Amino acid sequence: MAPVRLAAALTLLASLAWLAPAHAADLRIEVLGARNADGHMAIALFAAPGTGFPGDEKLAVRLVRVPIDEASGRCATTLESLPAGGYAAAVYHDHDDSGRLETGPFGMPRKPHGFSNDAAPAMRAARFEEARFELPEDGATITITLR
């Protein structure tokens, strides 16, 4: 009886594995335009509107801090194993490693920053839909330029 149960369990596991996504997508994010290599680049990835984009990093799907190449002013990272779908990214050069994006009296960032799609609305942060991009199942690379 035990071999029959084992065979049934293995069959069930094999059928459940078929239902799981076959491939998780990788997202490479490249950031251009850092004026120096002080501190780190903070990169936050958000998965839906109304989930903190762009300022509430605690609600980000992924949050990473990446060193900056001094010679080129560039940095890059790969976020692995993401479900395919719509995302928006927000970045800022945390040159003093404070861990936060300080803003002025009208909410304008005091550090170089940028958004996916290089969304650059005047006098406000980008909205999720302005910065939204599709991550296909086979992965993607996006480039963000600081302003």
Question: Residue 39 sits in a domain of what CATH number?
Answer: 2.60.40.10
- pLDDT score for 132: 98
- Total count of domains within the chain: 1
Whether 14 maps to a domain, the answer reads no
End-to-end, the C-alpha distance of the chain in Å comes to 68
Whether 47 maps to a domain, the answer reads yes
Whether 128 maps to a domain, the answer reads yes
Alpha-carbon distances, residue 9 vs 2, 21, 47 (angstroms): 10, 20, 35
Q: How large a percentage of the chain has pLDDT more than 70?
A: 84
Residue ranges making up the domain that contains 59: 23-145
Give per-10-residue mean pLDDT for the chain (147 aa): 46 41 83 97 96 93 97 96 97 96 82 96 91 98 97
User: What are the tokens at 106?
Assistant: 């009208």
Give the DSSP H or E segment for 4. Answer: helix 2-19
Sheet with 25-32, side-by-side order of all strands: 75-82, 25-32, 140-145
Whether 4 maps to a domain, the answer reads no
pLDDT by residue (tens digit) across 77-108? 999 999 999 999 999 999 999 999 888 887 77
